[in-house]
Amino acid sequence: MPRPDRMKLGTFVYTYGFHPASWMHPGSDVGAANSFAHMLNVARLSEAAKFDFMFMADSPAAAVGDPEALARQPNKMNRFEPLTLISALAVATERLGLVATASTSYYEPYNLARIFASIDHLSGGRACWNVVTSDHDETGYNFNRRGLDPHAVRYARAREFVDVCFGLWDSFDDDALLLDRERGIYHDPRKLRALDHVGEHFQVRGPLNIASTPQGRPVIAQAGGSEAGIALAAETAEIVFGLASDIGRSRVFYATLKARMAAFGRDPDGLKVMPGVVVNVGRTRAEARAKVDFMLERLHPDVGRLMLSEFLEADLRGVPLDAPLPEDRLPAAPKGSRALFEELTAFVRSGRTVGELIRLYAEKHTGNGITGTAADVADVMEEWFETRAADGFILMLPTLPASLQDFTELVVPELRRRGLFRDEYEGMTLRENLGVPRPRGRAG
Amino acid sequence: MPRPDRMKLGTFVYTYGFHPASWMHPGSDVGAANSFAHMLNVARLSEAAKFDFMFMADSPAAAVGDPEALARQPNKMNRFEPLTLISALAVATERLGLVATASTSYYEPYNLARIFASIDHLSGGRACWNVVTSDHDETGYNFNRRGLDPHAVRYARAREFVDVCFGLWDSFDDDALLLDRERGIYHDPRKLRALDHVGEHFQVRGPLNIASTPQGRPVIAQAGGSEAGIALAAETAEIVFGLASDIGRSRVFYATLKARMAAFGRDPDGLKVMPGVVVNVGRTRAEARAKVDFMLERLHPDVGRLMLSEFLEADLRGVPLDAPLPEDRLPAAPKGSRALFEELTAFVRSGRTVGELIRLYAEKHTGNGITGTAADVADVMEEWFETRAADGFILMLPTLPASLQDFTELVVPELRRRGLFRDEYEGMTLRENLGVPRPRGRAG
């Protein structure tokens, strides 16, 4: 049975692209990390292609590790702060959804609720908050802590944080503003209320000092694949993001997550499962493959070693490239993708060198996903979409703007020919375009 | 001896204007509180007149009090969040400085330092942070506290907070970015450093994950008139803002503050004393007076009573308008202006009614300052400027955009005729226009 709607698409943004050597691609401004013009270009390309949104990844810390390797990988060292960036993009774009990542571990709900409400007004209803709890130790060191709080504490705080924000966004009823100059009454005081929240992590009185926004509440995105993450998403999220590896597992994840929504009285269509996918597309398969190789050649071994260190949570500095990795450097369990972890483990046990392992990891991490012609890419996306492994995709484009231009020029027309992607925006707000309901402001 | 430079001017922004009935003025969009077009109009009027900056007042709480009265006074109930607003204005203006208020009591320094660094990049060097500690109980209730921390604690935290931000803004040296694609080296790792701050209120490792900004650090504004506030300003501020009441006291304040800077090795010209001043200007004195009366007529007695309650820190609900205020409702000491407090106290003791008292307070608070022709206004401003009571002014315009249009059309040309105000911006950044030095990034 064909899907009733079309797929949703978003552009995932690290400044220069998802590939760790992306800043070296000749097609971008080398100073893009501090250039609004670069970000606006990415936004306008996404908007011209009628994408649902642009998604700003974030971490409130510079990456940690070998300083020489970090000096070769700017995406995590020098970046715009995402809330300010999407505020600026809000008034320079018209239809594109604007997603910013912000951590429930290091913000206060009153400040963040105000910020997103303000962006929703600035953008005419295109704000989306990617809720994260932050999962890197280095972030804690910037916020008065010796490291991360335990996973369960972070998720309990996140759940309460989101709840407080929901309450604050509902401070003003949708029809609270009377704007009656004749009688001198601006708002109906019966349609504005305090929150008086008293919980384990937060005490917040409210009300929020900004009126109800075009979307009622910003769209909520989340990425969690843990049990706590799935629970939070089933209850509160409208976009769920994850790294796609295996279509079978993704179908199970999709079905599980949508089933869990019923317990919260939610329609499964109110949440869009959008795996991240790395796309390298060319006019021919050889051209696509050449693009992958072009970027792999630019990846310095120190950067590859640093990336692998992060994935394995092991310090690999000084480990020789031309010898196998001692097996005791492998962790017992993966932090990220289990499938990738198992593949790397088998590779190590087969006696390959660290240099080969880095190349495998870098390719899996940055060059895998889908590589081929527009038809190849569309085939995979169509299969995932039609078999309910995904409602759409967050595109992890290796380089920006080059890979985004490739995608919009080659793949988008192919998706349209197949009836899989929109020709024009359906609505004015991100909720309207995603097809997720707007929360109704309370009656007075 | 004439002053060597020109005066500095900034527009103080509550949405609809400084007057509590400003939203009822027919010259503005009644929906301005959630309208970027309104804010952009205020910014563009200020920029066309070559003002130094636009100053966003703020409090992270809705006002508290009689709900019926608050429903008649939207400025403190429904407003843009200022950091997001100036981010949007940054890309829609070219030369105007953009000042946002943010509280050291309720933010984390790592987040706020990132936000202002990002805005400084977005704006090409026009960001300014108005540092406040927040002095209303209602803010504390939104941030896990039963009320405010004590004054001394708030100022100690503020001092440390600013210091952490300075350290974070200096994470990257100005010449740290190499952007060398040939060698694959983005930045010089010797020119990026952690902060490793461990203090009484904060532990922040750093470095900041954004490169050195056009201004090195955003401009710092402050308003404190307390001893702790003066100490903080003398050491760290570049703009000092306050409500002007008396030229004699202001000269003393000016001289005291500038003298205190020497202890920190600072040039007195590196800080601009800019009192707030309420201006009602007309083509004739009668026209100016009529503008004051027009707004006073629109002030509902409940709003007047609420304002007076805040000033006196007394609950005046239910106190009859046609009888004198019982003297036991007067506090022992003023929270705000001592001169105004003494005037009100004498008025109460002379047996006037609460209604008369409200009108007096409303006029002093909103209609005093300078009322008259362009020459009258320029005379006062010139005297303050030439006798070193002020380096410039923050204009508390009763209505926006109407009073701002009046000022730019009538007063600005008069100030220019007298050689007191610029014809064109001197530089591209706010620091260049203010004439305050740019901190030098450390050498490697």
The interface predicted TM-score (ipTM) is 0.96
Residues B332 and B275 grouped into a single domain: no
CATH code at position A114? 3.20.20.30
8 Å CB contact of A34 and B203: no
The pair of three-digit structure tokens given for residue A44, joined into one six-digit string: 């306008």
8 Å CB contact of A143 and B204: yes
Residues B226 and B338 grouped into a single domain: no
CA separation, residue B281 to residues A341, B227, B398, B421 (Å): 72, 35, 11, 17
B15 annotated ligand-binding residue: no
Question: Mean pLDDT, to the nearest integer, of A375-379?
Answer: 97
Please identify, among B319, B348, B365, the residue that sits at the C-terminal boundary of a domain.
Answer: B365
Residues A354 and A425 grouped into a single domain: no
For residue B342, what pLDDT is reported? Answer: 84
Q: Does residue A319 fall inside a structural domain?
A: yes
Q: Does residue A371 fall inside a structural domain?
A: no
Return left, alpha or beta for A280; rule: phi > 0 is left, psi -120 to 50 is alpha, else beta.
Answer: beta
Provide the number of structural domains found in chain A: 2
What percentage of chain A reaches a pLDDT higher than 70? 97
Q: Residue B373 corresponds to which amino acid?
A: T
Please give the backbone phi and psi of residue A197, each rounded to the nearest 5 degrees, phi first: -75, 130
pLDDT tens for B226-274 read: 888 899 999 999 999 976 678 998 999 999 999 999 999 999 999 999 9
Q: Is B158 on the interface with A (CB under 8 A)?
A: no
Please identify, among B365, B384, B418, the residue that sits at the C-terminal boundary of a domain.
Answer: B365
Residues A273 and A319 grouped into a single domain: no
Q: Does residue B205 fall inside a structural domain?
A: no
Q: Is B204 on the interface with A (CB under 8 A)?
A: yes
pLDDT tens for B71-129 read: 999 999 999 999 999 999 999 999 999 999 999 999 999 999 999 999 999 999 999 99
Nearest CA to A128 out of A223, A55, A203 is that of A55
Residues of A in contact with B72 (CB under 8 A): 184-186
Instruction: Say if residue A38's pLDDT is above 90.
Output: yes
Residues B377 and B235 grouped into a single domain: yes
Chain B interface test: which of A16, A38, A64, A81 (most B C-beta within 10 Å)? A81
Q: Whole-angstrom Cα distance, residue B279 to residue A421?
A: 56
Residues B396 and B329 grouped into a single domain: no
Cis peptide before A401 (omega within 30 of 0): yes
Residues B247 and B317 grouped into a single domain: no
Q: Is B210 on the interface with A (CB under 8 A)?
A: yes
Interface of B with A in 71-100 (CB under 8 A): 71-74, 76-81, 83-85, 87-88, 90-92
**Lowest mean pLDDT, pick from A396-405, B39-48, B67-76, B137-146:** B137-146
Nearest chain A residue to B125 by CA distance is A34
Q: Is A203 on the interface with B (CB under 8 A)?
A: yes
Q: Does residue A3 fall inside a structural domain?
A: no
Nearest CA to A189 out of B289, B72, B138, B136 is that of B72
B300 annotated ligand-binding residue: no
B134 annotated ligand-binding residue: no
pLDDT tens for A159-193 read: 999 999 999 999 999 999 999 999 999 999 999 99
Q: Is B64 on the interface with A (CB under 8 A)?
A: no
Instruction: Say if residue A443's pLDDT is above 50.
Output: no
Question: Residue B226's domain spans which residues?
Answer: 8-137+215-283+373-434
Residues 6+ apart with CB under 8 A from B371: B279, B280, B281, B285, B288, B289, B291, B292
Q: Across chain A, what does the average pLDDT equal?
A: 92
Chain A interface test: which of B209, B210, B212, B302 (most A C-beta within 10 Å)? B209
Q: Is A142 on the interface with B (CB under 8 A)?
A: yes
Largest CA distance in chain B: 83
Residues B229 and B336 grouped into a single domain: no
DSSP state of A17: -
For residue B212, what pLDDT is reported? Answer: 97
In this complex, which of A73, A85, A181 lies closest to B30 when CB atoms are compared?
Answer: A181
Instruction: Say if residue A148's pLDDT is above 90.
Output: no
Residues of A in contact with B171 (CB under 8 A): 62
The single residue listed with the structure tokens 């001092």 is B159
Residues B229 and B341 grouped into a single domain: no
Nearest chain A residue to B213 by CA distance is A34
Q: Whole-angstrom Cα distance, residue A348 to residue A342?
A: 10
Please identify, among B365, B383, B405, the residue that sits at the C-terminal boundary of a domain.
Answer: B365
Q: Whole-angstrom Cα distance, residue B113 to residue A140?
A: 16
Q: Does residue A422 fall inside a structural domain?
A: yes
Q: Does residue A77 fall inside a structural domain?
A: yes
For residue A444, what pLDDT is reported? Answer: 38
Q: Does residue B334 fall inside a structural domain?
A: yes
Interchain CB contacts (distance < 8 Å): A and B: 223
In total, chain B counts a number of residues equal to 444
8 Å CB contact of B181 and A26: yes
Residues B267 and B406 grouped into a single domain: yes
Q: Whole-angstrom Cα distance, residue B359 to residue B356?
A: 5
Q: Is B36 on the interface with A (CB under 8 A)?
A: yes
Residues A41 and A188 grouped into a single domain: yes
Chain A interface test: which of B68, B78, B123, B139 (most A C-beta within 10 Å)? B78
Question: Mean pLDDT, to the nearest integer, of A229-252?
Answer: 88
Residues B360 and B220 grouped into a single domain: no
Count Cβ atoms below 10 Å from residue B329 Cβ, excluding itself.
16
DSSP state of B438: P
Q: Does residue A441 fall inside a structural domain?
A: no
